[in-house]
Amino acid sequence: MAITTKATSNFSFRKLANAFDEVFDGYIEDSYEDLAQNARDNIKNSTGIRKLTQGTIAIRKKGLSSKRGKTSGTTPLIHTGSLLASIKATKDGVQMANYGKYHMDGFTIVENKWTKRFAPRAIGKVVKPRNPFFTAKGNVKPGFKKGADRRMEELIKKINRVWRTK
- Contact present, 97 and 108 (Cβ < 8 Å): no
Q: For the chain, how far is it from start to end, CA to CA, in angstroms? A: 33
Residues, the chain, total?
Answer: 166
pLDDT per residue, tens digit, the chain (166 aa), is 788 888 788 888 888 888 888 888 777 777 788 888 888 888 888 877 888 888 888 888 888 776 777 888 888 888 888 889 999 988 888 899 988 888 777 788 889 888 888 788 888 888 777 677 776 555 556 666 677 788 888 889 988 888 887 7
Question: How many other CB atoms are found less than 10 A from the CB of residue 147?
Answer: 19
Distances from the Cα of 92 to the Cα of 6, 26, 144, 146, angstroms: 46, 11, 18, 22
Q: Give the pTM.
A: 0.62
